[in-house]
Amino acid sequence: MAKRKKQKVVVDAGLQELNGWKIGDVVWGIRPNKEVCRGEIIRFYESEELVQVLCLVGDGYLICEMRTLEESSTKPLMKKKAKEYIPRS
């Protein structure tokens, strides 16, 4: 049997840092449906000012607005902020 040629994996470097946040930072964020999440930044969407976060609790990949991110906070404080949060349309 013939050997297959190995495919090269192309890693998309993409945007590594935006507005003081870096890929790999662990942050608190508010989702557009006003739920609070904590996770690691995976990807930036610069044109929409969104961040993709890998949730530490196990909810998967989530999207948060950059203006809602905080590095050091607590869940009760973030829930208070989420009540006042108005998603952009």
The string of pLDDT tens digits covering residues 47-81 is 888 999 999 887 789 999 999 999 988 999 999 99
pLDDT of 8: 64
Model pTM score: 0.75
For residue 38, what are the contacts with CB-CB under 8 A and spacing of at least 6? Answer: 26, 27, 28, 29, 55, 56, 57, 75
The string of pLDDT tens digits covering residues 17-57 is 888 899 999 999 999 888 999 999 999 988 888 999 999 88
| Domains of the chain with bracketed CATH | 17-75 (2.30.30.140)
